[in-house]
Structure 1
């Protein structure tokens, strides 16, 4: 299973979104994908992606910093070396480079893609084997307008593309946010699951006031209502509230997952390959959750198809009892793959074939790549 890495190339790829995407900390009109090509001995190439949200608005790694870490530190560390498998790659990166999990995720993805191609196996097989070839996928309603979100939700339900939705709140006054969320839930109906993502915007007092009202309105899952450092309060909310508390930013790696689980957290974990350091690393985090009886949810950093497929290969090997939100490619006006993902009937299909099972359109890559 060994591979020798000969060269690494990295691009920043800017693609407009189909509509403004409003979060509590930023409104996005464009997404930047950090794309990596790993060339290995024998003419095998693997592709990876690292994507964050709103530059530095979401977290400590920006697209520019991810590219800098790869070009300046990780590429010289890895090139011309042979790795027996993905764990030896991760060990080498983690020993010499601290943090920078987004950059490491792109490289681990590219390595798995190349390894799968070398052995004619899908990445899911390298991660333990797919349990399903289709996964549920919701859509985030985040235009910033209640009326537009309701219309968008009704249209997507009629088309059959999605059967569940997420709402972004936290940027506006509490009463405005509550009215917005409850109006959308009421308009979509009792049979359509809806949850809200607060993106760390509330304090404990606000959460205690807001969550019962959301629950009474039919919203059954609340994502990351508190700042990621407020671990004890997040645990307390999960134990006290009649809804599922979904930990996202608070679950950065398997150590953070263990801290929440051992503290008595009873909600669900949002997994993201970028936070964990790659598809193989996020499986370790998932196993911590499963051991504690914590449900799993497949989260997105609004990646393009490349990063989305890498996540899907990992999710396919797990029981994602709280669903997934791998809709990132649908938010983009274009992409850099030759064949788009198959979204229908509230599900997305896992690509088949060696490695990630997708091909990169290098003409589109060059077209959207940021000029230095």
Structure 2
């Protein structure tokens, strides 16, 4: 099938402004760097993927700059000249030339899936077993904000898009002050919506055991990765001791990690990011491990743009293991999009886009304006 042969792989770095600064445990982002990857087939079909990390290399060691170098110098030569429907073999061969670098691999994995689906004129979800749902719940994540600003943003999202679940970032400030801030926010609004926290693996054992019970008492419904990724013993202790579900994020960057979390009984939920896991194929392995063990999966985000978010949405729509909702809200943080149509967010859900591939088409004028010169 020569028309499915990969003709070229191209990358460009976009710097897309956010509508407001977004605070993580160790950094604050005012714009989102996105590596836009295009895979062009011999028949002229183009697929799109995105290399995105949440706020920069502090999270997993990769950045848009390192991803661009890895893809152009090492991964693209493995791809060019091979049919895109040999995707599994291409991914196997990636491992012979590049260890780890899962965010970079995810970008080209998704671009190849997108190109293949567009060439077949089918939705991306059809390559993954078919969508059994057309919309998914979306949790809105707040950055590290003062109490009054957080209350205002929650009220705004309830009114504008009907969000019912909110994630609160912690870990950058004094734990006692942070805990008081979150507790007051939950007290003000917890009878209308649900709240969860994400510490981004920044608390040690004693800090977690001191403050998480207070957050549980305040009504927080989920603890996301309160302690370091490697410390599964403490994560298990929190999971079994405090009585609030625990979600592993930084602790699960591969199927082997997921299996270890299952064996150690270290979490109740796995944050499944197609980016950190290396793409859709590896994400399917993690989903299968979690589902078999009775753990829930959450469709998590690295704050991808529209193409990356749409790919994760197609994956979630076709994967029953993702049973704990999603936070696929990345495009909502962008001041402007770079697709001709936006993903639809309303009533606390995001709709699965229709059409071949991801269902989205590029706005090349906007892409050019965001391209780093």
Q: Partner of 1:75 in structure 2?
A: 76
TM-score by length of 2: 0.97
Q: Partner of 2:326 in structure 1?
A: 324
1-structure distance, mates of 2:219, 2:199: 17
2-structure distance, mates of 1:85, 1:241: 47
Residues 175-190 of structure 1: pairs in structure 2 closer than 5 A: 175-190=176-191
Q: Partner of 1:91 in structure 2?
A: 92
Q: Partner of 2:355 in structure 1?
A: 353
Q: Partner of 1:248 in structure 2?
A: 249
Describe the superposition over 1:335-354 as per-residue Cα deviations: whole angstroms up to 9, x where unpaired.
21110110000000010111
2-structure distance, mates of 1:54, 1:140: 14
Tell me if 1:258 matches 2:259: yes
Tell me if 1:164 matches 2:171: no
Shift of 1:240: 1.6
Q: Partner of 1:124 in structure 2?
A: 125
Q: Partner of 1:287 in structure 2?
A: 288
Q: Partner of 2:48 in structure 1?
A: 47
2-structure distance, mates of 1:78, 1:266: 37
Q: Partner of 2:134 in structure 1?
A: 133
1-structure distance, mates of 2:29, 2:267: 32
Residues 209-358 of structure 1: pairs in structure 2 closer than 5 A: 209-319=210-320, 320-358=322-360
For the Cα contact (< 8 Å) 2:190–2:219, is it kept in 1? Answer: no
For the Cα contact (< 8 Å) 1:89–1:108, is it kept in 2? Answer: no
State the aligned residue count. 371
For the Cα contact (< 8 Å) 2:331–2:337, is it kept in 1? Answer: yes
Shift of 1:266: 4.1
Secondary structure in 2 matching 1:354: coil
2-structure distance, mates of 1:355, 1:104: 18
For the Cα contact (< 8 Å) 1:6–1:80, is it kept in 2? Answer: yes
Unaligned segments of structure 2, at least 5 residues: none
Shift of 1:143: 4.9
Q: Partner of 1:30 in structure 2?
A: 31
Greater mean alpha carbon deviation, residues 74-83 or residues 181-190: 74-83
TM-score by length of 1: 0.97
2-structure distance, mates of 1:123, 1:89: 18
Residues 10-29 of structure 1: pairs in structure 2 closer than 5 A: 10-29=11-30
For the Cα contact (< 8 Å) 1:14–1:368, is it kept in 2? Answer: yes
